[in-house]
Structure 1
Amino acid sequence: MVASFAGYAIYLAGLRQRLVEPNRASWLIWGTSTTIEAVTYAALNPRTPQSYVFLLSAAACLGIALALWRRSRWSAPDTVESLCMGASLAAIVLWLVFREAFWAHMLVVAVVPISFWPTWRSAIADRARERSPAWGLWTVGDLATLLLATRSGSQDVGEYAYVFVELVCHASVWFIIGLATINPLRSFGWRDGRLRVLDAYAPAVNPFHIAENHLGKAVYAAQGFVAGERIVRFGGRRVSAKRLPRRLLGSRDRYLQVAHDAYLGPSGGIDDLVNHSCAPNAGLRFAADEVVLIAIRDIAQNEEITWDYSTTLADDGWSMGCRCGAPICRGVVRAFVTLPPERQHWYLARNIVAPYLRGTKPPATNRRALCGLG
């Protein structure tokens, strides 16, 4: 009983922190069947400890089902979910009108694996949807109940069957998501001066998403960034200017000038796709061993992330037409020295200009410095 209710508490905590994405069809079936079973048992066995346990379990199942419906928009169940719900509810109705207690109870046993089918599908498709220690606790609780029942010999065959099927179903989900989820060191920890619950199961959130705009592919913020925050590290191999290809076209044309005679090649990552803007919300900051894109103002969620390509350009002979759409769009992207003095000072004051461009006018090169838009 302790393991079972601890499982409900942890599962609700994970639901509140959006660490799990339970299947609503399964929880609707469980909430309905557990409630009917609890009410029926309490009517036949009033004021017994087990009747209160059933009622608390029903309340927990209904609480999770209601929380699922409240936190997300309604979406109709798919065909498999509809079949499972229909079969389960039909069995429950037959259970209520059946005269024979044994066969009525066996109908409830048959409902259990049917009700688990939507959750199995969901967990197999993405284990993170159900990655909660609760499944391990429910399995342990079922096993303890089954062992206690067999040792006392006070249960009939129907009761054994129900507990055994519950045990197998809970254990199957636990195996799908990983047995290590019950590790208490991953579930609880003292950090930053307070107890943290389930932090180890928080999914890694992708801070970006790729979408198409009038320039082609563009990088958008999937979460907000505050001014001064690191956005992404620019990768790629360092390449000598003498080794650059003569003609660079399409997706291969992504070279970032980092010195008079050196470039960073394409990384194949998100940094290759960040577009230019004449009024950017980010800029490149250079360190001894890395080049990092920094937010130069607060960037809102779903806003495109951009930087000014001119802040790294030294090639006087290279230019690129600009269609960024900013009110101060220059119409063409050229070397840093071609920017108006006040704009150069603006970038320099924010430390988002390649170090080799600061100070004296750099010598011209005969290579293009950067990728085209998109």
Structure 2
Amino acid sequence: FASLCGGATVIVDGLFGTGLDRALGGAFAAAVEAINGSVAPVLALDIPTGVHGGSGAVLGSAVRADVTTTFAAHKLGLHQHPGVAHAGEVLLISIGVPAPETATAMLLERADVARMVPVRSVDAHKGRAGRVWICAGSPGKVGAARLAGRGALRAGAGLVTLAPRGEVARALAGAIPELMVEALPQNVERAVELLTERCDAAVVGPGFGLDGAAMAVSLGIARGLPVPTVLDADALTALAGSPDLSLAGAPAPRVLTPHPGEAARLLGTTSGEVQADRYGAARRLAAATGATVVLKGARTVVASADGDLRVCPFGTPALATAGTGDVLAGAIGAFLGAGLSAVEAASSAVVVHALAGEAAARGDRGLLASEVADALPAALEHCRGAVPS
């Protein structure tokens, strides 16, 4: 087989398809090794041999294709690493079979964002554009609050208020002129009452603190605030430390935004196990909490409590830098404040944030989170340009 591959002009890989669920061995592993050792371009049919169709995991060894032609509908394994690296360019080919009308997973596109985020009316004013309060910031972590606030403003919130722990309110005042600052009461009931009266959506957790008082406020808001709420960073750690993960009894929708480490703490597992099956981890966490889950990372996954998945194909490794998650949390809050559902807000913000990162990056590193925030408006317009007028 090695000699055949060595003399090939092009190699078409059709050894195994999406049903493979065991590690390759023997002659099949040798064939994969020969294909990968050839200099000929490789075309994989439906999915590269050795890539798990449901997770993107490599089953022992896998073909590295230059192009994958996938048939009828995208396969989940083509859109999570390491499957992404093995698939190369992915082309969706129609074979005359209609896509299922009740699919439980979808690949997000720019046009989806255009459909989910309505164009603002010409008589809009700031009071109707969404009032977002961001419970964030503690000593040494005021930057997280500023970035979340900047993300919310750049994603279109009409009024954004930073609500930090009392002792850091002065440090945040005036840092960004467009952001208001008001210290959050340390009493849980009073904090929930204030937010209920003053906001259309809330973000809780960026740099908020992990002491007992902070965690009590985070959990009190998570379980009791009757407006849509994003739980990020320290709020997720507080939830992971509570005896009951369920937020199904919360009086309004919740969006959780964990990175793999936070997801692992919430699920009682390791980040390696989360990364090995990101779809499964996102679904399990959404089911356990009753919330919409945004599992961050390359090819971010959005999972709803009923198990539906949405996958973002956009992004850049330059987004792997401190503060970009704070910006994303603020953007989700802005879309919630504009009246989008939890899944719509999460999906739209994830795509716009990823495209903003692509646009602002000057390479694979060196990107600042504030630059991502400032690129959000143009990224949203880029999405709207994907829909024919």
Q: Same fold (TM over 0.5)?
A: no
Q: Which has the higher contact order (CA 8 A, sep 6+)?
A: 2
TM (normalized to structure 1)?
A: 0.20
TM-score by length of 2: 0.20
Please say which structure displays the higher CA radius of gyration: 1
